[in-house]
Amino acid sequence: MANQGTIDDRTSRNNDPWNKHAVDTAATILQTGDLVLRDGIDVTSDLLRQMNQTDKTYSHCGLVVVENGYPFVYHSIGGEDNPDARMRRDSASFFFSPYNNFRFGIARYAISDAVKERVKKIIWTSYKQHIRFDMDFDLKTDDKLYCAEFVYKTMNKATGDNQFILPTKVMGYTFVGTDNLFVNPHTRMIWQVKFK
């Protein structure tokens, strides 16, 4: 199980020059439509990673939209960090912060510029609708979305291919883990960082 460490450990990780450089560099390579992943330091992150069937590295995800030259991450999150549980738009630097995360990754979908434009429009529509976090992890509803569900539905809709990303089916339950989003033939991992 993940260990948050002391406040001093978190502060040290956050202030480490290598970690800061990794986050700053990540912001320069991000493109609209990129999948960003992270592994948080809290117990909830540990539990969410366990939903993954193939790769248990990451617990949370979002999609990037580059706006006026800077990448922002749109993601669906609940919990104490987001009490109103509405979809968030955070700077890439904030999303990747070593203070609250052990690691992060960037994956790139094999999609055209036209699909990237559709991704952007779908993301902005969801954000303007103040979509809330889905505590029930129910793929059948669209008024609430958990993080991997948001990416899954956005990418499948933007590509027009309901099998672009496939869900996992286990014992009669269908869900999307973060690994479904990047362990597939349409995606390549372009960078992974484990913080010091």
- 36-85 residue pLDDT tens: 999 998 888 888 888 899 999 999 999 999 999 999 999 999 887 788 99
Three-state secondary-structure class, residue 93? helix
Three-state secondary-structure class, residue 74? strand
**For position 103, what pLDDT does the model report?**
96
- Rounded alpha-carbon distances, angstroms, from residue 30 to 5, 47, 72, 116, 165: 29, 28, 9, 13, 21
Calpha distance 93→26 (Å, rounded): 8
Predicted confidence band at 195 (pLDDT cuts at 50, 70, 90)? very high
Ranking 6-10, 94-98, 154-158, 165-169 by mean pLDDT, the lowest is 6-10
**For position 22, what pLDDT does the model report?**
97
Per-chain mean pLDDT for the chain? 93
CATH code that applies to domain 7-194: 3.90.1720.10
Q: What is the mean pLDDT of residues 140-163?
A: 97
**For position 9, what pLDDT does the model report?**
79
Calpha distance 146→154 (Å, rounded): 12
Evaluate if residue 4 carries a pLDDT over 60. Answer: no
Strands 101-109 and 88-91: unpaired
